[in-house]
Amino acid sequence: MQLYDRRENENNVEYAYRVVRRNIMTLQMIPGTRISVDDIMKQLNMPVQIVREVTDKLEDELLMQSAARDVLMVTKIDISVFREGFFMRSVVEPKLIEQLAGYASTKGIERLNENLIMQKALIEGTEGDVEEFFHLDDDFHRIIYHLAGKPNIWNAVRRVCTHYDRIRFLDIIENQIDLKGTYEEHQRIADYLFTGIPEKSDIHEFYETHLGTYLRNLLQLMEEHPEYFVS
pTM, whole model, 2 decimals? 0.90
Does residue 221 sit within a domain?
A: yes
Beta bridge partners of 78: 230
If you ran DSSP here, which 8-state letter would residue 28 be given? Answer: S
To the nearest 10°, report the CA torsion of 110, 115, 118, 124.
-100
Same domain for 124 and 160, yes or no, is: yes
In a domain, 3, yes or no: no
Considering 53, 75, 97, which residue would you say is the last residue of a domain? 75
**pLDDT tens per residue across span 84-129:** 999 999 999 999 999 999 999 999 999 999 999 999 999 887 556 8
Q: Are residues 91 and 193 both part of a single domain?
A: yes
Per the domain annotation, does 102 fall within a domain? yes
Q: Residue 85: which residues within 8 A CB-CB, separation 6 or more? A: 157, 160, 161, 162, 163, 164, 165
| Structure letter (DSSP) for residue 228 | G
69 and 89 assigned to the same domain: no
Q: 82 with 159, same domain? A: yes
Q: What is the pLDDT of residue 216?
A: 82
Q: Is residue 2 part of a domain?
A: no
pLDDT at residue number 213: 81
- Domain holding 71: CATH number? 1.10.10.10
Whether 83 and 181 map to the same domain: the answer is yes
Q: Name the nearest CA neighbour of 116 among 205, 187, 174, 34.
A: 187
Structural domain containing residue 185: 78-230
Q: Is residue 201 part of a domain?
A: yes
Q: Cα 50 vs. chain centroid, distance in angstroms?
A: 23
Give the H or E element holding residue 203.
helix 203-211
**119 and 190 part of one domain:** yes
Model confidence pLDDT, tens digit, residues 72-88: 999 999 999 999 999 99
Residue 6 domain-assigned (yes or no): no
What was the pLDDT predicted at 128?
60
Q: Please tell me whether residues 204 and 115 are part of one structural domain.
A: yes
Residues 146 and 199 in one domain: yes
DSSP state string for 114-127:
HHHHHHHHHHHSSS
Q: Is residue 213 part of a domain?
A: yes
Number of domains, the chain: 2
Question: What's the average pLDDT block by block, 10 residues per block, for the chain (231 residues)?
Answer: 91 96 95 96 96 96 93 96 94 95 92 96 78 93 95 95 94 83 95 93 91 85 95 74
- Asked if residue 48 and residue 160 are part of one domain, the reply reads no
147 and 84 in a common domain: yes
The pLDDT assigned to 126 comes to: 54
Q: Which of 33, 60, 75 is the last residue of a domain?
A: 75
User: Based on the domain organization, do 90 and 186 belong to the same domain?
Assistant: yes
Shared domain check, 208 and 97: yes
